[in-house]
Copies of this chain bind each other. A is one copy, B any other.
Amino acid sequence: MTYQLHYWPTIQGRGEFVRLALEAAGVDYVDVAREPPKQGGGEAALVRRLKDPHNPWPPFAPPFLVHGSVFIGQTAAILLYLGPRLHLVGDMEQERVWTHQIQLTIADVVAEAHDTHHPVGTGLYYEDQKPEAARVAQSFREERIPKFLNWFEQVLRHNPAGDTHLVGDALSYADLSLFQLVEGLRYAFPKATARALAATPAVVKLHDNVGRRQRVQEYLNSPRRIAFNEDGIFRRYPELDG
């Protein structure tokens, strides 16, 4: 049964955490909104499913995953479901809930990164909230990025199986998501992120290891990987970097 990912077709955004898991696992999947409308794809297909009045499990927002009769929204919930199926999480309950806990903390950073350019409201443009964005970005750069990256560094260093992976001694969806978080932070806040990463060598090593994995590398070099841009969550507005 093919996994059907539904996400906006022109940005990495939150959908990228799911794309990376599917790509790293090497499974077949359809990125629905990026398929031609004639083949049932396009943004219209995504919106149709999002607003389907008969769906007993209506997602609040993309990304959402359709897998047979299963229908799941919320990035972390999608990865919770995919984890065991893609062999991207351990078998023990403590490992699974720990991996999920790390993922939820990554989701918190992602939400805060979004709020640096949209602190007032998602319904407004960045240009309409620049003074607020400047203050939020300063706090994010100076306090939050170091605090979060230091926490991931501690998680890696405390891992009894060594600091190559966040959980145990095998790749998990949390590793892939931390790779993506570092990618995004480096794109949006190159200076602030470089300063913070100087103190977190294990995070840098994990990022580099994940990026060198064959399937991940093939994906990153393929047209399936959308470039970062200023419609996504991680946006490069030089005035917000310090």
- State the A residues within 8 Å of B (CB): 53-60, 69-70, 72-74, 76-77, 80-81, 93-94, 97-98, 100-101, 104-105, 108, 111, 115, 119-121, 123-124, 129, 132, 135-136, 139-140, 143-144, 148, 151, 154-155, 158-160
Contacts and interface: CB of A to CB of B under 8 A. Distances in A.
B158 A56 contact: yes
A150 to B, nearest CB: 10
12 contacts: A55-B158, A56-B158, A57-B98, A58-B158, A60-B151, A72-B97, A80-B80, A119-B132, A120-B132, A120-B135, A120-B139, A121-B139
Q: Copy number of this protein in the oligomer?
A: 2
A102 to B, nearest CB: 9
- For the complex, would chain A's binding face be called helix, strand, loop or mixed by DSSP majority? helix
Contact of A104 (B70, B76, B124, B139): B76
Nearest to A123: B143
B120 A97 contact: no
Contacts of A108: 60, 111
A155 B98 contact: no
Among A81, A140, A143, max chain B CB count under 10 A is at: A81
B121 A101 contact: no
A59 B98 CA distance: 9
A69 B56 CA distance: 37
A96 to B, nearest CB: 9
Nearest to A53: B158
Contacts of A104: 74, 76-77
A74 B124 CA distance: 30
Contacts of A93: 70, 81
